[in-house]
Amino acid sequence: MRTTWKPHEKHGDLTAQGDLPDSVYAFPKQRKEPMTDASHVRNAVARFDQVTDVSDTDRELAFANITKAARHYGVDMSESSAADLGVHPQRALRAAARRAATTRKRRYGRRGTAKARRAKPIRRIKTSRGTRRKTRRS
C-alpha cells in the first residue's frame, strides 16, 4: 500500500489541529492520529485499535503511514501488520460513556463531574408521595 505520510518539521505554536496538513495524519481522510514527532508515533501505535468509523483499507493505509513515520523518527515497532495492532475498536464505547453519565447524574445530581468524584451522593428519602432529597442539618 502506498503511504501518504510526509514529515512535518514545523514546530512552534499551532493554533489548531487544522494547521497541520493531511499528510501528517495516520488516518488522513479522517484527520485522526497526527504524527509530528516520535512520541506522537508511539501514541498512534498504542491507540490504533481505538479509532472508530474507519474501513479496513483505511486501517491498512494508517499502518503503512505509522510504519513510515516510525522509521523516520527511529521508533522501534515489533508489529508487522495492522492485524498485530488490533483491528476491532471498542464499539460499545459511546454507549458505555452514556451509561456512565446517566449514573453520575443519578448519584450526584447536577453537580459537575469533577466535583462528583469527591462529593458524597445525594441522599433520598421515600415518602408516601414519592422520593425527595434529604435536607442537611447544620
Neighbour-count burial of 45, counting CB atoms closer than 10 A to its CB (0-12 exposed, 13-18 middle, 19+ buried):
buried
In the three-class reduction of DSSP (H, G, I as helix; E, B as strand; rest coil), residue 32 is classed as strand
96-126 per-position pLDDT tens digit: 888 888 887 777 666 556 655 566 666 778 8
Q: Are 15 and 25 in contact (CB under 8 A)?
A: no
| Helix (DSSP H) and strand (DSSP E) numbers for the chain | 5, 4
Asked if the model's pLDDT at residue 132 lies above 90, the reply is no
H helices within the chain, ranges in order?
A: 38-46, 56-73, 82-85, 93-108, 113-116
Average pLDDT over residues 86-101: 74
Q: Does 87 have pLDDT greater than 80?
A: no
What is the pTM (predicted TM-score) of this model? 0.61
Task: Determine how many CB atoms are found less than 10 A away from the CB of residue 107.
Answer: 13
Q: CA–CA separation, 70 vs 13, rounded Å?
A: 24
In tens, the pLDDT along 47-85 reads: 898 888 888 899 999 999 999 999 999 999 888 888 888
At 14-59, the pLDDT tens digits run 545 667 888 999 999 999 999 989 999 999 998 898 888 888 899 9
- Residue 45 CA to residue 47 CA, distance in Å, equals 6
